[in-house]
Amino acid sequence: MKTLFLLRHAKSSWKDESLPDFERPLNRRGKQAAETIGRYLKRESIVPELVLSSPAFRARETIERVAKVAKWNPEIRFDQRIYEAGGLRLLEVVSQIENERKTALLVGHNPGIQELLMLLTGESKRVPTGTLIKVELKTSKWVNAADKRAKLAWRIKPSKLVAD
Task: Evaluate if residue 3 carries a pLDDT over 70.
Answer: yes
129 domain-assigned: yes
Please list the helix, strand and coil fractions of the chain in percent, rounded to the nearest 5, in that order: 40, 20, 40
156 vs 162 pLDDT, higher one: 156
Distance CA 157, CA 129 (A): 8
Domain that holds residue 94: 2-135+148-160
Element (H or E) spanning 64, and its range?
helix 57-70
Q: Work out the average pLDDT over 133-137.
A: 97
Q: Work out the average pLDDT over 5-27.
A: 93
**Residue 16 burial (C-beta neighbours within 10 Å; 0-12, 13-18, 19+):** exposed
70 domain-assigned: yes
Range of lowest pLDDT (60-64, 120-124, 158-162): 158-162
140 domain-assigned: no
pLDDT digits (tens, 9 = 90+) for 141-151: 999 998 878 99
Structural domain total, the chain: 1
Confidence of residue 80 (pLDDT cuts 50, 70, 90): very high
What's the CATH number where 78 sits? 3.40.50.1240
Q: Work out the average pLDDT over 94-122.
A: 97
